[in-house]
Structure 1
Amino acid sequence: MMQNSLARVSRFLVFPATLLILANTAPTVKAQEGLYNPIPLPANGEVADSLSERDIPTGQGGFARDYTIDLNAGDNIAIDLSSDNFDTIVTLMRNGVTVVENDDGPDGTTNSLLFTRIKDSGKYIVRVRAFGETSGGTFKLKVTRLKPI
């Protein structure tokens, strides 16, 4: 009887003891940090950069790169995105929602140009991406705050 009680107690202790040993001897694993880090646009609103397979997968075979910008209600802005390497699409987003997007500008090329008036002040994302399954290449992005007339 004493042996059965001892066997039952040891079964209850073996599992927690095993977990304790594993917890103390297993390598420490840190949570992944910085998976999504949009790049702040410089004060002049211009960047010359490149899009590659290391950027955000779009799920359509292409990739995207995000930039942050603080905008104020009433700002009128122009966003110009050009590349000789891929068909560009530029998207302005706020809180994960698309505010406005442009694929091809009015000049008949595959570069993107959009104009918009900002309704709400806050942090916005300017997303640069390639149309379709294009992997990317170099591009120029310029965000201009237009002066009211």
Structure 2
Amino acid sequence: MRSKGFAVGLKQVTIIPATLLAVGISTTAAFAQANKLYSPIPIPLGNEVFDTLSDKDIPTGQGGFARDYMVKLSKGDNLAIDLVSESFDCIITLLAPDGTTVAENDDGPDGSSNSLLFTRVAETGTYVIRVRSFGETGIGAFKLKVTRLQPVK
């Protein structure tokens, strides 16, 4: 199902079919990406990102917001994804190139509301790391670190 765009006065108006709106973020993100509205932020492996989640980011439909980052990964990569915020209750999600959820973590092993995720990548491709707040817990500064783990020799 496709959206229809047309000009009204000087503004471009896009009509999104109700079936797309009812499905949720994944379909909406896929629609936006196909129409060049969706652009995850590229991050290199091993780097820390200091950023801020705001009410201008992707609405989750649960009162919170999400920000997406993309990273190129290879089959067999072992990752640690660490998300820390003093401002909101964090959730981290790793999405496969086809948009399916590979892994997700809400609360870290230390009992805090930060998130720590360990996973192994099954296929080579561009993955999305989604940073989001739990429910309506808010917005604010966060630190995201993606580390490729090396096997012990």
Q: Tell me the TM-score normalised to structure 1 length.
A: 0.77
Instruction: Tell me how far 1:28 sits from its aligned partner.
Output: 7.5
- Which residue of 95, 110, 120 corresponds with 2:113? 110
Per-residue CA deviation, residues 52-95 of structure 1 (Å, 9 max, x unaligned), is 10000000000000000000001000000000000000000012
Percent identity of the aligned residues? 61
Query: Structure 1 residues 143 and 43, CA, compared in 2 at 3 Å: closer, same or farther?
Result: closer
CA distance in 1, matches of 2:45, 2:12: 38
- Residue 146 of structure 2 corresponds to residue 128 of structure 1: no
The answer to which structure has the higher strand fraction is 2
The residue aligned with 1:15 is: none
- Residue 37 of structure 2 corresponds to residue 35 of structure 1: yes
Query: Structure 1 residues 59 and 72, CA, compared in 2 at 3 Å: closer, same or farther?
Result: same
CA distance in 2, matches of 1:119, 1:93: 12
The answer to which structure has the higher helix fraction is 1
Q: 1:140 corresponds to which letter in structure 2? A: K
The residue aligned with 2:69 is: 67
Instruction: Tell me how far 1:146 sits from its aligned partner.
Output: 0.3
CA distance in 2, matches of 1:27, 1:88: 40
Q: Provide structure 2 residue ranges, at least 5 long, that are not aligned to the other structure.
A: 1-6, 15-31
Query: Structure 1 residues 27 and 53, CA, compared in 2 at 3 Å: closer, same or farther?
Result: closer
Q: How many pairs are equivalent?
A: 125
CA distance in 2, matches of 1:40, 1:126: 10
Q: 1:93 corresponds to which letter in structure 2? A: L
Larger radius of gyration: 1
Per-residue CA deviation, residues 19-75 of structure 1 (Å, 9 max, x unaligned), is xxxx9xx64748796421100013543200000100000000000000000000010
The residue aligned with 1:56 is: 58
Q: Tell me the TM-score normalised to structure 2 length.
A: 0.75
